Amino acid sequence: MERSASSLSRIRLRIGYAVTGTSLGLLVLIVFLADEKFRNYHVACWGGFSSLFAMVCLFLHLQHNKDNSKERYIPVLSILLIIGLVTQMGCIVAFFTYIVMAVEQKQDLTTLNCNPCGYYLASIWVFMSWKWSFLTFLYARMYRNIYTVRYGEIID
């Protein structure tokens, strides 16, 4: 199956975006764990979690780019779709929880290095995790629909 130039450039942009998200999430994980000046376990954990979902998106794009997907790949996409959906819901709860805790404790917006505080910065990385879990859901659904049409299976 021949792909158009715009389709190839779109998938390359998605791969580049996922690589950037993975790199930034891992960088946040390392910086906020290793450096005493910036130590914040909440931010580090959510940065790592964001990186994990960016890696899943990268995996989805690389598999689609290889175009060697078989029927056995469709159940994996369905599982990733469900994981992305459930994670989005958890991230929404965590985002509002961090905001409420920061307001309740009257934290400064620029507080980075006290644990357990810096909840505003943690809420930003919860949002990033939500974004990557949403993209996991979106791309898993999109690729599953493409492959179910290609292999003649019924789309639920």
Residues 6+ apart with CB under 8 A from 130: 87, 88, 91, 92, 95
Does the residue 70 lie in any domain? yes
- Asked if the structure places residue 156 within a domain, the reply is no
Beta carbons within 10 angstroms of residue 104's beta carbon: 9
Query: Quick one: DSSP state of residue 110?
Result: T
Q: According to the model, what pLDDT value does residue 66 have?
A: 81
Residue 57 and residue 79 in contact, taking contact as beta carbons nearer than 8 Å:
no
pLDDT along the chain (156 residues), means of 10: 73 94 96 86 94 96 77 86 96 96 84 71 95 96 86 59
Task: Determine, yes or no, domain membership for 66.
Answer: yes
pLDDT value of residue 132: 97
pLDDT at 73: 81
The pLDDT assigned to 9 comes to: 87
E runs forming strands in the chain: none
Instruction: Say if 63 falls within a structural domain.
Output: yes
Q: How far from 74 is each of 12, 18, 24, 37, 155, CA to CA, in Å?
A: 22, 21, 29, 45, 11
Domain span at 15: 5-151
Residues 86, 87, 88, 91: what is their CA dihedral angle, to the nearest 10 degrees?
Answer: 130
Q: What is the pLDDT of residue 8?
A: 84
Supply the pLDDT for residue 59.
93
pLDDT for 35 equals 82
- Residue where the block lists tokens 């998106």: 57
pLDDT value for 28: 94
For the chain, what is the largest distance between any 2 Cα atoms, rounded to a whole number of angstroms? 58
| Angstrom distance (rounded) from CA 105 to CA 96 | 14
> Residue 17: which residues within 8 A CB-CB, separation 6 or more?
none
Count CB neighbours of 77 within 10 A.
Answer: 23
Q: What is the pLDDT of residue 70?
A: 66
Asked, for residue 112, whether it belongs to a domain, the answer is: yes
- Looking at the structure of the chain, the number of domains it has is 1
